[in-house]
């Protein structure tokens, strides 16, 4: 069987004995053009790029990502822009897998099938839908699989044992473990040791799959979690964009430098 | 799509939580799956538990003050001619609005589940005020999420919330109204669901919250049915039950006991917020035919743009100023059991003026929308038609707005 680009990315990292670095940025933040430039500039340090399509009523995002999403929407962000950004990014020579992430209503309004086809067409490799949990997502996840798009299931510290097993079984090659009870970007209120303990328990259910940890990961905490298959940094990057804009600095350079620093902490 | 007889509307959903196969559900982040599941389990158990029901009825009677009055508005009826206009004065409930039913039940649930903290959203401030009252009564720590715009326009309720010892968390995001308060409250719950119970202020949100709220407010129609029989000797042949609809909790409670009656005998009319007269903004997803969408964990008709971003809404009434609506009202609309229309800010104000001129009644801006519809249709109807308006809130909280718009309060 052919390995998916997401699988290959994890495999490469395992060969280098390090976790995969995943970033999350919001499409059209701070502008359509600049968000593409950010993706291009961080591409060489990152293993998988998560790109958010911002929503006006996010129920699981913390302040930093909300700010980014509202900024994008205020700048006129439309769903089609996210696809265009991915399409243009994928014109680069060495591209990384892209995972689109957002809330279900945007997909529902676009039309599930039309959305998946469009993803396929522009080169999206995976999808995370924050408010479409298992088992409600079973049908959608199957549709993704048919088009070789990875549907990423989420697990949280509140997920029951029985549920964990069922979700892992139904999941594709990548699974996202939410580190703690929090919206995105919360302060890490659980010790990395405890997070990893939970993480390893889950990993045992099916060690062949790739599990990433997200929520609350910054340049201060990332190195303590590096035994994971992958680590997602989102809010810290969104915060950097906001900070750069406030200081009238170039967010592209600043984010790029930050991601480089993050990478250095996990190799 | 069909309504089943002899089954409460709140229980007419499928195993995935959808009414009519497409309204409702539970579109929630994974973290909330467990607390939502726990709540659903507790609620299913408790609603069958005789002691719990006894407790509920005790507090409904002795704390909330059930039954609330059912009165004829003689002067208004004779002024308008035509149908008789009656009011179910739910604003006489402790605290001044129907929100006390849901708040009391949530506080009881919270206690039964062994949680000490309770959080809730509020628009008009009534849901927040009542939750803070119930929290105080049952010894729970309480936080209320409220949009900054609403904090400014519904001051009296904010004062009451703080007096009850609850904290108001101001919400600065988005339009700074109810929709943002609900989002922020849900986000808070995501982060604190292990110790904290969440109360959604209306029949909206993930399936279980629609059910708990509907179960609580249905007390209104249980009382009304008895009161109608007492007043008329039997259920009259032509009744119109008019209720304002924001999230739809008071309308659900006002109608639920009467769903099985033929609509030719008991008609339901829901009145949404049409917003300012010459504005494109409104909060009327049902009557202005908004598309189906997902908002705050459930599928309903939602004011939104083509992309699925939630539209800003506008209404003089903070309690109706919400882009979504209960999945049950979507179900009632599509099965044609209820009819939905809207009233503008201006007609709600005019209705308030007329009602208070003729009657010793002080309906808040929310039920003033329902009165606007009653005033509009009553003259055209026969004398044996009984219009009943749910006067579900008291206008004290609207003092500042009324002073500004009408010059006096």
pLDDT tens-digit map of A226-246:
999 999 999 999 999 999 999
* Percent of chain B whose predicted confidence (pLDDT) is above 90: 99
**In chain A, % of residues over pLDDT 70:** 100
Residue for token pair 């409460």? B8
Select from A58, A105, A163 the Cβ nearest to the Cβ of B293.
A105
Beta bridge partners of B169: B145
Mean pLDDT of A133-142: 97
- What is the rounded distance in angstroms from the CA atom of residue B197 to the CA atom of residue B353? 40
Q: Which of A60, A79, A160 faces B29 most closely, judged by CB atoms?
A: A60
Q: Which domains does chain A have, with CATH numbers?
A: 5-266 (3.20.20.70)
Distance of residue A16 Cα from the nearest chain B Cα, in angstroms? 32
Contacts B187 to A, Cβ<8 Å:
58-62, 183
Contact residues for B328 (Cβ-Cβ < 8 A; gap 6+): B9, B10, B19, B23, B24, B203, B210, B214, B248, B252
Min Cα–Cα distance to chain B from A169, Å = 16
A71 CB within 8 Å of a chain B CB: no
Residue B175 is predicted with a pLDDT of: 83
Report DSSP state, residue A1. -
| Token pair 């996990």: residue | A266
Residue B29: its chain A contacts at CB < 8 A?
A: 59-60, 130-131, 133, 154, 156
Asked if the C-beta of B78 comes within 8 angstroms of chain A's C-beta atoms, the answer is no
Residue of A nearest to B205 (CA): A59
Task: Answer whether A15 touches B (CB < 8 Å).
Answer: no
Yes or no, beta carbons of A56 and B192 under 8 Å apart: no
Residue with tokens 């970033």: A23
Among candidates B396, B403, B405, which has minimal Cα distance to B124?
A: B396
**Whole-number Å distance between alpha carbons of B352 and B317:** 12
The CATH class that applies to domain B62-96+218-406 reads alpha beta
Is pLDDT above 70 for B275? yes
Partner residue opposite A79 with nearest CB, options B180, B297, B307: B307
Cβ contacts of A134 on chain B, cutoff 8 Å? 30
CB B138 within 8 A of CB B111: yes
Residues in chain B with CB shorter than 8 Å from the CB of A178 are 30-31
Interface test with A, best of B13, B27, B304 (most A CBs within 10 A): B27
In this predicted structure, the answer to whether residue B99 has a pLDDT above a threshold of 80 is yes
Q: Are A189 and A221 in contact (CB under 8 A)?
A: no
B 309-348 near A (Cβ less than 8 A): 309-310
Beta strands at B196-199 and A153-155: parallel, antiparallel or unpaired: unpaired
Cβ–Cβ gap B29/A133 under 8 Å: yes
A186 touches chain B (CB under 8 A): yes
pLDDT one-digit tens code per residue, B115-167? 999 999 999 899 999 999 999 999 999 999 999 999 999 999 999 999 999 99
**Tokens standing for residue B386:** 């009984």
Taking CB atoms and an 8 Å cutoff, what residues of chain B touch A83?
none
Question: How many Å separate Cα A262 from the centre of its chain?
Answer: 15
Among B29, B191, B295, the residue with its CB nearest the CB of A57 is B295
SS3 label, residue A60: coil
The CA distance from B335 to B331, in Å, is: 6
Residues 6+ apart with CB under 8 A from B235: B225, B228, B229, B261, B265, B266
Same CATH fold assignment for domains B21-34+99-214 and B62-96+218-406 = yes
Measured between beta carbons, the chain A residues lying within 8 angstroms of B23 are none
Residues from chain B that touch A56, judged by Cβ atoms under 8 A, are 174, 309-310
Q: Is the pLDDT reported for residue B89 higher than 90?
A: yes
Cβ neighbours of residue A220 under 8 Å, at least 6 residues apart? none
Q: Return the half-sphere exposure (C-beta side, CA atoms, 13 A cut-off) of residue B304.
A: 25
CB contact set of B77 (below 8 Å; sequence gap of 6+): B83, B84, B85, B378
Contact A132 B35 (CB under 8 A): no
Of B28, B32, B310, the CB nearest to A57: B310
Q: CB of A130 within 8 Å of any CB in chain B? A: yes
Q: What is the mean pLDDT of residues B282-287?
A: 98
pLDDT value of residue A1: 58
∠ at Cα A141 (A10, A196), nearest 5°?
40
CATH code, B21-34+99-214: 3.40.50.1100
The 3-class SS string of A96-137 reads CCEEEEECHHHHHHHCHHHHHHHHHHHCCCEEEECCCCCCCC
Q: A59, B187: Cβ pair inside 8 Å?
A: yes
Beta-carbon pairs below 8 A across chains A and B: 115
Chain B interface, mutation test: which of A69, A131, A157, most B Cβ atoms within 10 Å? Answer: A131
pLDDT in tens, B370-404: 999 999 999 999 999 999 999 999 999 999 999 99
The domain segmentation of chain B, as residue ranges, is 21-34+99-214, 62-96+218-406
| Residue B197 confidence class, pLDDT cut points 50, 70, 90 | very high
CB contact, 8 Å: A157 with chain B?
A: yes
Facing residue for B309 by CB, picked from A55, A130, A181: A55
Q: Which of A105, A110, A181 sits opposite B295 (nearest CB)?
A: A105
How many angstroms separate the CA of residue B288 from the nearest CA in chain A?
Answer: 18
Per-residue pLDDT, averaged over A174-179, amounts to: 97
Q: Does B111 touch chain A (CB under 8 A)?
A: no
Average pLDDT, chain B: 97
- Residue B179, pLDDT > 70, answer yes
- Closest by alpha carbon to B223, among B388, B76, B394, B48? B388
A84 near B CB under 8 A:
no
Asked if the C-beta of A183 comes within 8 angstroms of chain B's C-beta atoms, the answer is: yes
Does B49 reach chain A within 8 Å, measured CB to CB? no
Q: Distance between CA A211 and CA A209 in Å, rounded?
A: 6
Is-catalytic flag, A61? yes
Exposure letters B102-111 (e unless 16+ CB within 10 A, then b): bbbbbbbbbb
A108 touches chain B (CB under 8 A): yes
Are the beta carbons of B191 and A61 separated by less than 8 Å?
no
Paired sense of beta strands B298-302 and B291-295, if any: antiparallel
Residue A162 among the catalytic residues: no
What's the rounded mean pLDDT across residues B200-217? 98
Q: Is B22 touching A (CB cutoff 8 A)?
A: no
**Which residues on chain A are in Cβ contact (under 8 Å) with B26?**
133, 136
pLDDT band at A187 (very low <50, low <70, confident <90, very high): confident
Q: What's chain A's average pLDDT?
A: 96
What is the 8-class DSSP label of residue A226?
A: T
pLDDT in tens, A29-80: 999 999 999 999 999 999 999 999 999 999 999 999 999 999 999 999 999 9
Closest residue on chain B to A162 (Cα): B34
Q: Give the containing element (helix H, strand E) for B291.
A: strand B291-295
Q: What is the mean pLDDT of residues A134-156?
A: 97
Residue B24, helix vs strand vs coil: strand
């Amino acid at each position: 069987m052919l390995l998916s680009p997401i699988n290959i990315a994890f495999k490469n990292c395992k060969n280098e004995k390090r976790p995969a670095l995943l970033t999350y940025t919001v499409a059209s933040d701070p502008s359509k053009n600049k968000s593409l430039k950010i993706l291009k500039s961080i591409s060489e340090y990152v293993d998988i790029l998560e790109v958010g399509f911002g929503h006006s009523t996010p129920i699981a995002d913390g302040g930093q990502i909300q700010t980014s999403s509202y900024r994008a929407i205020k700048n006129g962000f439309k769903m089609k822009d996210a696809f265009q950004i991915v399409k243009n990014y994928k014109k680069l020579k060495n591209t990384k897998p892209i995972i689109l992430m957002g809330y279900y209503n945007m997909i529902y309004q676009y039309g599930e099938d039309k959305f998946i086809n469009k993803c396929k067409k522009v080169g999206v490799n995976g999808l995370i839908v924050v408010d479409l949990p298992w088992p409600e997502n079973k049908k959608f996840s199957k549709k993704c699989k048919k088009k070789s798009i990875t549907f990423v299931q989420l697990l949280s510290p509140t997920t029951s044992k029985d549920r964990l097993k069922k979700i892992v079984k139904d999941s594709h090659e990548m699974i996202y473990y939410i580190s703690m009870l929090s919206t995105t970007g919360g302060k890490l209120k659980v010790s990395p040791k405890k997070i990893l303990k939970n993480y390893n328990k889950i990993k045992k259910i099916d060690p062949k799959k790739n599990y990433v940890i997200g929520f609350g990961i910054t340049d201060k905490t990332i190195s303590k979690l590096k035994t994971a298959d992958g680590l997602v940094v989102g809010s810290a990057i969104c915060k950097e964009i906001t900070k750069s804009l406030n200081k009238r600095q170039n967010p592209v350079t600043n984010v790029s430098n930050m991601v480089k620093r993050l990478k250095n902490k996990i190799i | 799509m069909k309504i089943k007889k002899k089954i409460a509307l709140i229980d007419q959903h499928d195993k995935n939580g959808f009414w009519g196969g497409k309204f409702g559900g539970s579109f929630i982040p994974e973290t909330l799956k467990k607390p939502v599941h726990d709540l659903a389990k507790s609620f299913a158990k408790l609603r069958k538990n005789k002691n719990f029901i006894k407790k509920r009825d005790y507090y409904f009677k002795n704390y909330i003050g059930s039954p609330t009055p059912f009165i004829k508005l003689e002067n208004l009826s004779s002024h308008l001619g035509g149908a008789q206009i009656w009011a179910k004065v739910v604003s006489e409930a402790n605290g001044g609005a129907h929100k006390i039913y849901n708040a009391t039940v949530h506080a009881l649930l919270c206690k039964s589940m062994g949680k000490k903290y309770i959080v809730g959203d509020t628009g008009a401030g009534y849901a927040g005020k009542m939750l803070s009252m119930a929290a105080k009564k049952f010894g729970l720590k309480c936080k209320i999420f409220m949009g900054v715009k609403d904090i400014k326009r519904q001051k009296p309720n904010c004062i009451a919330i703080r007096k009850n010892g609850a904290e108001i968390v101001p919400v600065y995001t988005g339009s700074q109204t109810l929709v943002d308060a609900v989002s922020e409250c849900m986000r808070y719950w995501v982060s604190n669901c292990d110790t904290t119970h969440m109360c959604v202020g209306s029949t909206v949100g993930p399936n279980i919250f629609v059910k708990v709220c509907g179960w609580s407010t249905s007390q209104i129609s249980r009382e009304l049915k008895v009161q109608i029989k007492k007043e008329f000797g039997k259920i009259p042949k032509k009744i119109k039950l008019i209720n304002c609809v924001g999230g739809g909790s008071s309308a659900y409670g006002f109608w639920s006991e009467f769903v099985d009656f033929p609509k030719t005998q008991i008609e339901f009319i829901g009145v949404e917020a049409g917003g300012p007269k010459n504005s494109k903004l409104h909060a009327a997803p049902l009557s202005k035919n908004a598309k189906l969408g997902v908002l705050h964990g459930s599928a309903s008709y939602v004011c939104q743009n083509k992309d699925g971003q939630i539209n800003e809404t506008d209404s003089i009434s903070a309690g109706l100023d919400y882009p979504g609506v209960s999945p049950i009202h979507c179900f009632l609309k599509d099965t044609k059991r209820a009819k939905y229309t809207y009233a503008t800010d201006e007609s709600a104000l005019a209705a308030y003026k007329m009602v208070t001129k003729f009657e010793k009644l002080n309906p808040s801006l929310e039920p003033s929308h329902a009165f606007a519809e009653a005033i509009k249709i009553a003259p055209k109807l026969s004398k044996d038609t009984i219009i009943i308006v749910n006067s579900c809130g008291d206008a004290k909280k609207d003092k500042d707005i009324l002073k500004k718009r009408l010059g006096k309060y």
